[in-house]
């Protein structure tokens, strides 16, 4: 079963999209080869739901994180060789020989370029394989390496007796018969082995590049726990895409499964919620997270509602769009799935009385699902006064500190309900009322 994150969630958290500005994918997309990029896309599209698989993957990242290697190949080398190998050769050696002979003949008579092309491809492949051999040799028999099996397989392929000639054939000149023999060997006899080798190198590229990126950003790795406990703790949770982001601790468990978040505008409510959501998602991919000491029970999915769009074409108002979103999540939650749910500014599109009633009713009903985790933010701070008697709710707020007339935001969570109301202050700062009096 795959991890659930619907379109709205992916957009709220800006997770996917190679060409989208500041998407989390493009943040991590520091790989060299396009093969690795494909793997990265696959990982982003399919987070894991199995604690063992998650921990295995994060162990590999951890290993490369500590190794500080660099991936010495570029995309051009690999795509050329990949292209050459995947074209395939003939099944029988004589046929290959004859085919190449014909190309060579055509090359001399009518300047056909096919032979030259085949020769180039072969030479490039030989060069790359030699380089690979050199690169892989630096992995000594390191039994701690969680990637060791793969490395060993590649090593064995490269040290295959059939490939012994590799080291001696770097001069760049090959006779027709040699070419035919190598061509047949690489593209037919050992086709599967070499495909495996290239695939492993793409993985190496991905692991090394992402781990290096994580090191520069001081990211850490999360530990996945079995789903049962509904536990999530982390310190210094921050937004991976923001430089000098302020970190906050988060702690959820069965008996404290909901955060009721308040705070002024611009105090950082949405950013905090997004940071949490993104890190939960990354953790389920086994990726480095922008948090410290993160431990989490594996969840089945995540739903957010941060920028619910009005669907005016279908005649929905903002309020109705929100109601539909809440309903969709309710359906999922009530089916017994264990989810992470984030609602930003619930029911902002309606009048105060309704928003108050609705926030109370919906929040209370959701909080009973102890197998899920919720963060709900709202402007209706009055609702918090009623809800704070429920012991599984954590009341948190992001404060505003007034520095003279200017509001400043420390972006640090504090316990309690916000009592900051600086809206009028902002209006006064802008001097609007005086303008109108004049």
Q: Which residues bind another protein (CB under 8 A)?
A: 264-266, 315, 317-320, 323-324, 326-327, 330-331, 333-336, 347-355, 357-358, 361-362, 365-366, 368-369, 371, 379-382, 421-424, 426-427, 430-433, 435-438
Burial level of 315, CB count in 10 A (0-12/13-18/19+)? exposed
Q: Smallest gap, in angstroms, from Cβ of residue 238 to another protein?
A: 17
Q: Which of 166, 203, 156, 202 is nearest to 186 (CA)?
A: 166
R_g of the chain, CA atoms, integer Å? 29
Q: Smallest gap, in angstroms, from Cβ of residue 346 to another protein?
A: 11
Q: Smallest gap, in angstroms, from Cβ of residue 270 to another protein?
A: 9
Q: Which is nearer to another protein, 24 or 39 (CB)?
A: 24
SS3 for 10-73 is: HHHCCCCCCCCCCCHHHHHCCCCCHHHHHHHHHHHHCCCCCHHHHHHHHHHHHHHHHHCCCCCC
C-alpha–C-alpha distance, residues 64 and 212, integer Å: 8
Q: Which of 306, 300, 283, 304 is nearest to 234 (CA)?
A: 283
Q: Which is nearer to another protein, 136 or 326 (CB)?
A: 326
Q: Which is nearer to another protein, 163 or 278 (CB)?
A: 278
Number of Cβ within a 10 Å radius of residue 303: 25
Residues 235-264: b if buried by 16+ CB within 10 A, e if exposed? ebbbbbbeeebbbbebebeeeebbbbbbbb
Q: Which is nearer to another protein, 125 or 230 (CB)?
A: 230
Q: Give the neighbor-by-neighbor strand order of the sheet with 258-263.
A: 4-5, 301-305, 339-343, 373-377, 258-263, 393-398, 414-415
Q: Smallest gap, in angstroms, from Cβ of residue 128 to another protein?
A: 44
Q: Smallest gap, in angstroms, from Cβ of residue 236 to another protein?
A: 23
Q: Which is nearer to another protein, 120 or 408 (CB)?
A: 408
Bridge partner residues of 220 (DSSP): 289
Element housing 292 (H / E): strand 292-297
Q: Which is nearer to another protein, 52 or 427 (CB)?
A: 427
At residue 410, φ and ψ (nearest 5 deg) are -80, -10
Q: Which is nearer to another protein, 152 or 381 (CB)?
A: 381
Q: Which is nearer to another protein, 212 or 262 (CB)?
A: 262
Q: Which is nearer to another protein, 109 or 424 (CB)?
A: 424
Q: Smallest gap, in angstroms, from Cβ of residue 268 to another protein?
A: 11
Q: Smallest gap, in angstroms, from Cβ of residue 218 to another protein?
A: 24
- CA distances to 59, 226, 259 from 392, rounded to whole Å, are 33, 21, 9
Distance of alpha carbon 426 from the chain centroid: 38
C-alpha–C-alpha distance, residues 47 and 57, integer Å: 11
Q: Smallest gap, in angstroms, from Cβ of residue 169 to another protein?
A: 56
Q: Smallest gap, in angstroms, from Cβ of residue 366 to another protein?
A: 7
């Amino acid at each position: 079963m795959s991890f659930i994150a619907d379109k709205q969630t992916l957009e709220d958290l800006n997770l996917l999209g190679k060409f989208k500005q500041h998407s989390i994918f493009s943040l991590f997309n520091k790989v060299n080869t396009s093969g690795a990029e494909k793997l990265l896309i696959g990982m982003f599209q399919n987070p894991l739901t199995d604690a063992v698989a998650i921990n295995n993957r994060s162990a590999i990242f951890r290993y490369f994180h500590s190794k500080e290697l660099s991936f010495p190949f570029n995309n051009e080398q690999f795509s050329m060789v990949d292209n050459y190998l995947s074209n395939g050769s003939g099944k029988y050696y004589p046929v290959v020989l004859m085919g190449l002979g014909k190309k060579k003949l055509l090359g001399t008579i009518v300047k056909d370029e096919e032979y030259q092309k085949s020769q180039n491809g072969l030479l490039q492949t030989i060069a790359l394989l030699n380089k690979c051999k050199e690169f892989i040799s630096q992995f000594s028999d390191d039994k701690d390496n969680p990637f060791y099996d793969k490395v060993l397989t590649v090593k064995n392929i490269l040290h295959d007796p059939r490939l012994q000639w590799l080291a001696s054939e770097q001069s760049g000149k090959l006779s027709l018969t040699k070419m035919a023999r190598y061509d047949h060997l690489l593209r037919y006899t050992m086709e599967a082995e070499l495909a495996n080798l290239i695939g492993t190198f793409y993985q190496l590229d991905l692991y090394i590049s992402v781990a290096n990126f994580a090191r520069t950003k001081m990211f850490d790795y999360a530990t996945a726990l079995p789903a049962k406990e509904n536990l999530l703790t982390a310190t210094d949770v921050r937004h991976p895409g923001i430089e000098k982001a302020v970190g906050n601790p988060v702690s959820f468990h069965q008996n404290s499964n909901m955060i009721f978040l308040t705070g002024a505008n611009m105090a950082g409510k949405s950013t905090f919620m997004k940071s949490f959501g993104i890190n939960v998602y990354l953790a389920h991919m086994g990726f480095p997270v922008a948090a410290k000491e993160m431990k989490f029970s594996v969840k089945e999915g995540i739903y957010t509602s941060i920028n619910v769009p009005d669907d005016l074409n279908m005649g929905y108002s903002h309020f109705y769009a929100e109601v539909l979103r809440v309903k969709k999540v309710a359906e999922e939650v009530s089916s017994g799935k264990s989810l992470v749910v984030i609602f930003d500014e619930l029911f902002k599109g309606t009048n105060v009385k309704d928003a108050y009633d609705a926030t109370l009713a919906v929040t209370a009903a959701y909080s009973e699902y102890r197998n899920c985790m919720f963060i709900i933010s709202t402007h209706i701070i009055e609702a918090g006064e009623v809800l704070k008697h429920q012991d599984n709710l954590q009341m948190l707020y992001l404060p505003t500190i007034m520095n003279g007339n200017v509001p400043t935001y420390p972006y640090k969570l504090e316990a309690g309900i916000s009592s900051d109301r600086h809206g009028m202050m902002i209006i006064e700062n802008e001097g609007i009322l005086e303008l109108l009096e004049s």
